[in-house]
Structure 1
Amino acid sequence: MDDFLKHFRSKQLEKSQETLLPTQCPYCSVQCSMTLIEEAFMTTKQYKAKPNKEDTTSGGRMCIKGANAHQHVYHKERITSPLLKIDGEFVPISWELAIEYITERFHSIQTHDGNDAIGVYGGGSLTNEEAYLLGKFARVALKTKHIDYNGRFCMSAAAAASNAVFGLDRGLTNSLSDIPHTNVIILAGTNIADCQPTIVPYFRQAKKNGAYIIVIDPRETATAKLADLHLKVRPGTDSVLANGLLKVIKQEGYIDDTFIKSRTKGFENLNTHLDSFTLDDVSSITGVPIKDIIKAGRQYGIAKDGFIFTARGVEQHANGSDTVKQFINLVLATGKIGRHASGFGSITGQGNGQGGREHGQKADQLPGYRSIENDLDRKLIASFWNIDEKDLPRKGVSAYEMIEKMMDEDITALFIMGSNPIVSNPNAILAKKALQKLKFLVVVDMFISETAELADLILPSSSYLEDEGTMTNLEGKVTLRQGERPPPKDVKHDWEILCLLAKALNKENGFEFTSAKQIFDELRLASRGSKADYFGISYERLSHEALAWPCPHQDHSGTPRLFETRFAHSDGKAIFSPLGRIPDGYGAPPEYPLLLTTGRVMAHYLTGVQTRRSPDLLKKSPEPLVEMHPETAARYHIQHDELIHLYSIQGSVVMRACLTNKIRKDTLFAPFHWGGSQAINRLVAPFLDPVCHMPAFKLTYAGMKPITEKIESQDTGGLNYETVDQGSSERKEKSTRLNV
Structure 2
Amino acid sequence: MTELMLKYFRTKQKEVQKEKIYETQCPYCSMQCKMQLIEQSVVSRKQYKTVGKDNPTTQGRICIKGMNAYQHAFNRERLKYPMLKVNGEFVRITWEQALEYIKNNFTRIQEEDGLNALAVYGSASITNEEAYLLGKFARVALKTKYIDYNGRLCMSAAASAASQTFGMDRGFTNSLSEIPFTRCIILAGTNIAECQPTIMPYFEEAKANGAFLIAIDPRETATTKLADLHLKLKPGTDAALANGLLKVIIEENYVDDAFIQDRAQGFQEVKEYITSLDLEEIGEITGVPISQIRKAAAKFGKEETGMIFTARGVEQQTDGSSAVRNFLNILITTGKLGRPNCGYGAITGQGNGQGAREHGQKADQLPGYRSIENEEHREYVASVWGIDPAELPGKGVSAYEIMEKIHEGEITGMFLMCSNPIVSNPNAPFVKNALKKLKFLVAVDLFVSETARLADLILPTSSYLEDQGTMTNVEGRVTLREASCPLPGEAKHDWQIIVDIAHALGKEKYFSFSSAEEIFNELRLASQGGMADYYGITYERLRKEGGILWPCPDLLHKGTMRLFETSFAHRDGKAVMAVVPNKPVVPKEETGKEYPLYLTTGRVMSHYLTGVQTRRSPALAARNIESYMEIHPQTAEEYQIPDQSLVKIESRRGSIIVRSKYSEAIRPDTVFVPFHWADSQNVNNLVGKELDPVCRMPGFKLSAVKVSPVNDVYAN
User: Hey, what does 1:49 align to over in structure 2?
Assistant: 50
The corresponding residue for 1:628 is 631
Equivalent position of 1:706 in the other structure: 709
Residue type of the alignment partner of 1:524:
R
1:345 corresponds to 2:345: yes
- 3-state DSSP of counterpart to 1:221: coil
Q: How does 1:355-504 map to 2 (within 5 A)?
A: 355-504=355-504
CA contact (8 A) 2:239 2:581 kept: no
CA deviation profile, 1:7-43 (whole Å, cap 9, x unmatched): 3453032231100001000000000001000011121
Structure 2 residue matching 1:692: 3-state secondary structure: coil
Please give the alpha-carbon distance, in whole angstroms, between the structure 1 residues aligned to 2:714 and 2:103. 46
Matched, 1:84 2:84: yes
Q: How does 1:285-684 map to 2 (within 5 A)?
A: 285-545=285-545, 546-580=547-581, 582-583=583-584, 588-684=591-687
Q: What pairs with 1:48-447 in structure 2 (closer than 5 Å)?
A: 48-52=49-53, 54-447=54-447
What is the match of residue 698 of structure 2?
A: 695
How far did residue 59 of structure 1 move? 1.9
3-state DSSP class of the match of 1:281? Answer: helix
Partners of 2:589 and 2:703 within 8 A in 1 = no
Contact 2:239–2:582 (8 Å) recurs in 1: no
- SS state at 1:626 partner: strand
TM-aligned CA deviation for residue 5 of structure 1: 7.7
Q: Give, as a single letter, the amino acid of the residue that structure 1 aligns with 2:26.
A: C
- Give SS of 1:308's match: strand
Q: 8 Å contact 1:120–1:148 — kept in the other structure?
A: yes
Aligned residue number for residue 10 of structure 1:
11
TM-score normalised according to structure 1 size: 0.95
SS where residue 543 of structure 1 aligns?
helix
CA distance in 2, matches of 1:280, 1:4: 82
AA aligned opposite 1:33 = K
The Cα shift of 1:277 comes to 1.1
User: RMSD between aligned alpha carbons?
Assistant: 1.3
Q: Please state how far the C-alpha of 1:408 moved relative to its aligned partner.
A: 1.3
Amino acid at match of 1:349: G
Amino acid at match of 1:574: A
CA deviation map 1:270-297 (0-9, x unaligned)? 0100111111011010000010000000
Q: Report SS of the residue matched to 1:554.
A: coil
Opposite residue 542 of structure 2, the aligned amino acid is L
> Is the 1:69–1:614 contact (alpha carbons within 8 Å) kept by the matching residues of 2?
yes
Question: CA separation in 2, counterparts of 1:82 and 1:323?
Answer: 44
What is the identity, as a one-letter code, of the residue corresponding to 2:19?
A: E
Please tell me the residue identity of whatever aligns with 2:433: K
Partners of 1:421 and 1:49 in 2: CA distance: 30
Displacement after TM superposition at 1:625 (Å): 1.2
Is residue 23–residue 35 contact of structure 1 (8 Å, CA) maintained in 2? Answer: yes
Match of 1:84, SS state, is strand
Aligned-residue offset at 1:162: 0.4
**Equivalent position SS for 2:393:** coil
Q: Where does the alignment leave 5 or more consecutive residues of structure 1 unmatched?
A: 714-740
Q: Which amino acid is 2:343 matched to?
A: G
| Paired letter, 2:364 | D
- Matched residue of 1:383: which SS? helix
| Structure 1 counterpart of 2:565, one-letter code | E
Task: Provide the identity percentage.
Answer: 59
Determine the C-alpha separation between the residues in 1 that align with 2:427 and 2:6: 61
Aligned AA for 1:645?
K
What one-letter code is carried by the residue in structure 2 that aligns with 1:305?
A: T
Residue 586 of structure 1 and its aligned partner are, at CA, apart by 8.5
Segments of 4+ moved more than 6 angstroms: none
Q: Is the 8 A contact 1:264 1:575 kept in 2?
A: yes
For residues 406 and 221 of structure 2, what CA distance do their matches in structure 1 show?
38
Q: Which amino acid aligns with 1:435?
A: L
> SS state of the match for residue 240, structure 1?
helix
CA change 1:135–1:200 in 2 (3 A) is same
Q: Which amino acid aligns with 1:601?
A: V
Counterpart code for 2:268: E
Give, in angstroms, the shift of residue 4 of structure 1.
5.7
Q: Answer whether contact 2:217 2:313 (CA < 8 A) is retained.
A: yes
Aligned residue identity for 1:613: R
Q: Distance in 2 between matches of 1:419 and 1:576?
A: 35
Q: CA deviation at 1:379?
A: 1.3
- Quote the Cα distance in structure 1 between the aligned partners of 2:245 and 2:18: 60
Question: Counterpart of 2:510 in 1: which secondary structure?
Answer: coil
In 2, the alpha carbon distance for the partners of 1:629 and 1:225 equals 18
CA shift digits 1:321-342 (9 cap, x unpaired)? 0000000000000000101111
Q: CA separation in 2, counterparts of 1:711 and 1:267? A: 57
Taking structure 1 as reference, are residues 712 and 413 closer, same or farther at Cα in structure 2, changes over 3 Å only?
A: farther
Q: In 2, are the aligned partners of 1:12 and 1:42 still within 8 Å (CA)? A: no
State the one-letter code of the partner of 2:24: T
Q: What is the alpha-carbon distance in structure 2 between the residues aligned to residue 567 and residue 712 of structure 1?
A: 62
1:698 maps to amino acid: K
Residue-by-residue CA offset, 1:381-408 (whole Å, 9 max, x unaligned): 1122111111110011000000111111
Matches of 2:676 and 2:28 in 1, distance apart?
A: 13
Q: 1:651 corresponds to which letter in structure 2?
A: G
1:488 Cα offset (Å) = 1.4
Which runs of no fewer than 5 residues in structure 2 stay unpaired? Answer: none
What is the match of residue 726 of structure 1?
none
CA distance in 2, matches of 1:384, 1:8: 62
Distance 2:500 2:150 in 1: 24
The two structures have a TM-score, normalised by structure 2, of 0.98
Residue type at the aligned position of 1:13: K
CA distance in 1, matches of 2:69, 2:544: 24
> What is the deviation of 1:585?
7.9
Q: Per the alignment, in what secondary structure is the counterpart of residue 702 of structure 1?
A: strand
TM-superposed CA distance for 1:242, in Å, is 0.4
Q: Is the 8 A contact 1:475 1:560 kept in 2?
A: no
- Hey, what does 1:722 align to over in structure 2? none
- SS class of match (1:588): coil
SS of 1:172's equivalent in the other structure is coil
Does residue 32 in structure 1 map to residue 28 in structure 2?
no
CA offset digits 1:47-74 (Å, max 9, x no partner)? 000101x211012100000000000000
Aligned length: 712
Q: Secondary structure at the match of 2:359?
A: coil
Any conservation in 2 of the 1:626–1:668 contact (CA below 8 Å)?
Answer: yes
Whole-angstrom CA distance in 1 between matches of 2:7 and 2:233 = 63
The one-letter code matched in structure 1 to 2:119 is: G
Residue 353 of structure 1 aligns to a residue in which SS?
coil
| Matched-pair contact (CA < 8 Å) for 1:121–1:414 | yes
Secondary structure in structure 2 of the residue aligned to 1:604: coil
The answer to whether the 8 A contact 2:427-2:688 is kept is yes
Mapped to 2, the partners of 1:634 and 1:6 lie a distance apart of: 68
Q: Alpha-carbon deviation of 1:710?
A: 2.2
3-state DSSP class of the match of 1:601?
A: coil
1:712 Cα shift?
Answer: 12
What is the DSSP-based 3-state SS (H/G/I as helix, E as strand, rest coil) of the residue aligned with 2:84? strand
Q: Distance in 2 between matches of 1:425 and 1:582?
A: 25
Q: Deviation at 1:252?
A: 1.3
- Partner amino acid, structure 2, of 1:552: P
